[in-house]
């Protein structure tokens, strides 16, 4: 089963994303509630796709992306899901190698479709 890492510190969203992706049989969802937990998981396991917020404790989503691309040297699809949709942030993220960028408020249906497209 596909492994999906979701890095999100908002507990309200955690259950929605988890239920949606698992209900749509996209894959098994592993949660990380802060950047440090995410880095530990990224180092120890392989994931088919990573979904991350930008603003999280310890390491931001963009730091995770940089770590994934530059340090772990992996091309794992990486989706940013954030409330902050400023143009310069979006461009910065794409410069760093993000695969897709979704802003909140978001549609779970749309997220599910975008994730399945990348896997």
Partner 1 sequence: MTVSWFKSLPFNIQALLSICFFFLILSLLFILIIQISQLVKSVSTYFRNKYIGEIQNEVSLIVVQSAFSETPDASFQYKLKKLQALKKKSRYLSMIIMNEIVSMKKNLTGESAEYLENVYRQLGLREISISKVKSRNWKRIAKGMREIEVMQQTDTIHHLVKYLHSSNYYLRREVRLCLAGIAPKPLFFLDTINEFLSEWERMLLFEKLKQRPAELIPDFSAWYRHPNKSVVSFCVEMTVQFGQMQNIGKLEALLMEADKQLICHIIDSLRRMEAVQSLNAVGSILSKSQSSKLIISCLQFIRSIGDNSCEKIVTPFIRHKNPMVRMEAIRTLHETGASLSLNDRERRSMLAHIQHPLLS
Partner 2 sequence: MSAREIIAYLVEGSIFIYAISISLAYILLAVFSMIELRRHLKKNFFIDHHDLLRSSLAPSVSLLAPAYNEGLTIIDNVKSLLSIQYNNFEVVIINDGSKDDTMAKLIEAFRLEKVPFHMVERLKTKPIRGIYRSTDRAFSNLTIVDKENGGKSDALNVGLNVSSNSLVACIDVDCIIESDALLKMVKPFMEDKENVIASGGVVRIANSCVIEEGRLIKVNLPTSQLARFQVLEYLRAFLLGRMAWSKLNGLLLISGAFGMFKREVAVVAGGYSTNTVGEDMELVVRMRAYLLERKIRFKIKYIPDPLCWTEAPSSNKILSRQRNRWARGTFEVLKNHRYMFFNPRYKVMGLLSYPFWFFFEWMAPFIEAIGVLYFIFLWITGAIWWTHALALLGLVYFFALFISTFSLLAEEMSYFKYTKRSDLWKMVLAAMFEPFLYHPKVTFWSLKGNLDLFKGTKSWGDMTREGFKPKTKGKFIRHNDS
Task: Please state the closest distance from residue 2 (CB atom) to partner 2, in A.
Answer: 25
Site for partner 1 in 9-48 (CB under 8 A): 10-13, 15-16, 18-20, 23
Q: Residue 32: which of partner 1, partner 2, none does it interact with, CB under 5 to 8 A by kind? A: none
Contact 68, 74 (CB under 8 A): yes
Rounded-to-integer distance, Cα 84 and Cα 19, Å: 24
Among 3, 22, 89, 112, the residue binding partner 2 under the rule CB under 8 A is: 89
Q: Name the residue nearer to partner 1 (CB basis): 73 or 88.
A: 88
Give the nearest distance from C-beta 74 to partner 1 in angstroms: 28
Task: Give burial (CB, 10 Å; 0-12/13-18/19+) of 30.
Answer: middle
Q: Decide whether 57 or 75 has the Cβ nearer to partner 2.
A: 57
Q: Does 83 bind partner 2 (CB under 8 A)?
A: yes
Q: Which residues contact 96 (CB under 8 A, 6 or more apart)?
A: 62, 65, 66, 69
How big is the chain by its Cα radius of gyration, in Å? 13
């Amino acid at each position: 089963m596909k492994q999906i890492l979701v890095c999100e510190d908002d507990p309200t969203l955690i259950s929605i994303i988890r239920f949606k992706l698992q209900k749509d049989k996209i894959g098994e969802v592993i949660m990380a509630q802060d950047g440090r937990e995410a880095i530990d998981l990224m180092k120890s396991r392989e994931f088919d796709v990573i979904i991350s917020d930008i603003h999280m404790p310890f390491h931001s989503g963009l730091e995770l992306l940089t770590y994934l691309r530059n340090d772990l040297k992996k091309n794992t699809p990486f989706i940013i899901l954030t409330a902050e949709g400023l143009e310069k942030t979006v461009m910065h993220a794409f410069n760093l190698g993000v695969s897709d960028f979704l802003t909140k408020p978001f549609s779970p249906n749309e997220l599910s479709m975008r994730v399945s497209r990348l896997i």
